[in-house]
A and B are shown apart, each in its own frame.
Chain A
Amino acid sequence: MKTMIKLSHIHKVFGDLHVLKDVNLEVGEGEKLVIIGPSGSGKSTTVRCMNFLEVPTSGKVFINGTEVTPKNRLKVIRENTSMVFQSFNLYPHLDVMHNLTLAPVKIHHKSEAEARELARHYLQVVGLENKANAYPAALSGGQQQRIAIARALCQQSKIMLFDEPTSALDPETIQEVLDVMVKLAEESNITMVVVTHEMGFARKVADRVVFMEDGRIIEEGTPDELFDHPKSERVKQFLGKILNH
């Protein structure tokens, strides 16, 4: 299997805070990787290093075979990655259609017509084709996040990064977003890296689960291995807490 993402000896330091301590990780093409771990363990920072939203203090990031540097970062991102955030981050001054077509038109140099075609297709995928003309403020959290997923899909990237995509949602709307993500995971060959606390989702779609603590990857394995037969005491503890919620 081709390696799409490779983190090699990544360290990240914020001021006095050593947030990532020698993180090594490889994600294969089409693989669905879930990252779990307690708050502050460095999950977000790890994913954000993959598209250089955070520049690692040391270590190397390879995307689709290319080493990412501050210089080629934009080019590598444009060609390979898209991201879905916890807080949706839709562009509030643009309606849904323009949220979706902005990057295809301005970054990927598609014609307006092509971009709209693409947008309509992915709106259908997330089940919101009737919202093309709405502004983000008019949508519920779950709908906004589905639009954000559609926007990321419009970039037609090989890699999609998700940083806690359902953590800011009301419990009733979490499922509609998870359903879209499951569909994506099952029907597409997109490489997905998902930070989440949704264990049901992880079990269903993850090829591999990574547990982080205090800036390190402590354990990794298939969902069955990690959830049912965790090796380290720390993972057992964490899962106990999460599952009893």
Chain B
Amino acid sequence: MFGNMFSARAWELVWSFRGTFLLGFWHTLLTSILAIAMSLALGLIFGLMSSGTKTSLKAVARVYVEFIQNTPLLLQICFLYYALSFSGHGIGILASGIISIGLYHGAYMSEVFRAGIQSIPKGQFESAEAQGFGYVGMMRYIILPQTVKVVLPPMTNQIVNLIKNTSVLYIIGGTDLISNTYSFVTGVNTGGAYGPAYLVCGALFFVMCYPLSRAATIWETSLKKRDQMSAAKE
């Protein structure tokens, strides 16, 4: 239809359908934020469970992590959406997406937190205990703050992956950024504007992910700088 994929006409077409892209952007953002919150909460809880001493809790965390990590996300989202819908308890596309993506990345976050907690020397736990801190106080004031440095890079990695993984909503008919872009380029009236559409889509993803990566890098650098400064002071 268009001789040149990047013709002005194609860009105009994308512009006139900007609402589709913005809606996709908004749904991806919303899904991401809620799924990130869920994955962090799950990751923290299961990370604490698997780094603790209670074998029963460890086993539960292990099952969750292994089960989620060794089955495809696409299968999980289909199961959650279609199985629930057909049993008459459908929870909708967006909720299915948020929950399945949150669950999926929660398993990876759990491993991130576990590694972070296990990187803290035993003496820190003993010191806290000897001062009379219970489990919650010890984690909150002494252990978890020390894990930030270790956890930050892989956590950011997971968050960026999570945002990109919102594209799985496509398979259950979502209206996220990837799905909307794909519908646009394959639509009867809108077809053919592949180049500009995918560029816009990519730019919108970049706008979400890049500031996050940057912010995490800056935070990490400032933590490292504090360490170096305090070590050099003497």
Q: Are A and B part of the same complex?
A: yes
CB < 8 Å neighbour of A139 from B132, B133, B227, B234: B234
Chain A residues whose C-beta falls within 8 Å of the C-beta of B133 in the assembled complex: 103, 106-107
Bound form: Cα–Cα A243–B123 in Å: 30
- Rounded to whole angstroms, the CA-CA distance of A151 and B145 in the bound complex is 19
One of B4-12, B21-29, B65-73, B134-142 at the interface? B134-142
Closest to B120 in A: A92
Among A83, A87, A93, A137, max chain B CB count under 10 A is at A93
Inter-chain CA distance A91–B127, complex, in Å, is 9
Whether B230 contacts A134 by the Cβ 8 Å rule is yes
A51 and B126 alpha carbons, distance in the complex (Å): 11
- When distances are taken between beta carbons in the complex, the residues of chain A under 8 Å from B141 are 102, 106
Task: List 20 interface pairs A-B (beta carbons < 8 Å), by A numbering.
Answer: A74-B134, A85-B123, A85-B126, A85-B130, A87-B123, A89-B121, A89-B124, A102-B142, A106-B133, A135-B226, A135-B231, A137-B227, A137-B230, A138-B231, A138-B232, A138-B233, A139-B234, A140-B234, A151-B131, A155-B132
Cβ-defined contact, B233 with A134, below 8 A: yes
Q: How would residues 205 to 234 of chain B score, 1 for a CB under 8 Å from any chain A CB and 0 otherwise?
A: 000000000000000000000110011111
**B167 interfacial by beta-carbon distance below 8 Å:** no
Interface residues of A in 56-96 (CB under 8 A from B): 74, 77-78, 81-83, 85, 87, 89-93
Interface residues of A in 123-182 (CB under 8 A from B): 134-140, 151, 155, 161
For chain B, the count of residues having a C-beta within 8 Å of the partner chain is 23
Q: Is B20 at the interface (CB under 8 A from chain A)?
A: no
Cα distance A81–B133 when bound, in Å? 12
Chain B residues lying within 8 Å of A134, measured Cβ to Cβ, are 230, 233-234
B contact residues vs A (CB 8 Å cutoff): 121, 123-124, 126-127, 129-134, 137, 141-142, 145-146, 226-227, 230-234
Q: Which partner residue on chain B sits nearest A77 by CB separation?
A: B132
Across the interface, do B234 and A107 meet the contact criterion of CB distance under 8 Å?
A: no
Q: Say whether A53 faces chain B, with CB atoms less than 8 Å apart.
A: yes
Chain A residues within 8 Å of B130, by CB: 51, 53, 77, 81-83, 85, 161
A92–B145 alpha-carbon span in the complex (Å): 10
Q: 9 closest A-B pairs (Cβ-Cβ)?
A: A135-B230, A78-B132, A89-B127, A83-B130, A89-B123, A138-B233, A103-B131, A137-B231, A138-B230
Known contacts A93-B145, A134-B230, A74 near B132 by CB under 8 Å: yes
Which residues of A sit under 8 angstroms from B137, Cβ to Cβ? Answer: 106-107
Are A89 and B132 in touch, CB under 8 angstroms?
A: no
C-alpha gap A85/B231 in the complex (Å): 21
Q: State A103–B137 Cα separation when bound (angstroms).
A: 10
Contact (Cβ within 8 A) B124 A91: yes
Check if A91 sits within 8 Å of B142, measured CB to CB. yes
- CB-CB under 8 A from B232, the residues of chain A are 138
